[in-house]
Amino acid sequence: MAGLRRVVVGFTEEMLSGIDSLAQETNRCRSVLIREACSFYIAEKRRAMLRERMKTGYMEMAELNRALAEELGADLEDRDLSGEAWVWRKA
């Protein structure tokens, strides 16, 4: 496979035994199994980070929407108290 670089990674005996066992069960060599595991881990981490950014964004937007709704509510109360009528027009 072109573009591969060799790296040295340390594993505990227990972890290496699990890797070898799974590699044998799935008919993969150790390197392929570790590459697949790393790819899966990276993809999952990226998804988790995206979810967290989206959650933060939604929370910020919720706060902004709440503030805008409160402001609109105050405007509506002011207009209702002054007796002004609302006229809805198309923009």
Structural domains in the chain (count):
1
Domain housing 26:
13-81
pLDDT of residue 58: 93
Whole-prediction pTM: 0.62
Structure tokens at 13: 């005996």
CB-CB contact of 33 with 23 (8 Å): yes
Position with higher pLDDT, 60 vs 2: 60
Q: Does some domain include residue 50?
A: yes
CB-CB contact of 35 with 27 (8 Å): no
CA distance 54 to 62: 12
Q: Does some domain include residue 87?
A: no
State the residue for tokens 């979810």. Answer: 51
Q: Does some domain include residue 90?
A: no
Q: Comparing C-alpha atoms, which of 45, 23, 47, 46 is closest to residue 35?
A: 23
What Rg, from alpha-carbon coordinates, does the chain have?
A: 29
pLDDT tens digits along 27-83: 999 999 999 999 999 999 999 999 999 999 999 999 999 888 888 877 777 665 555
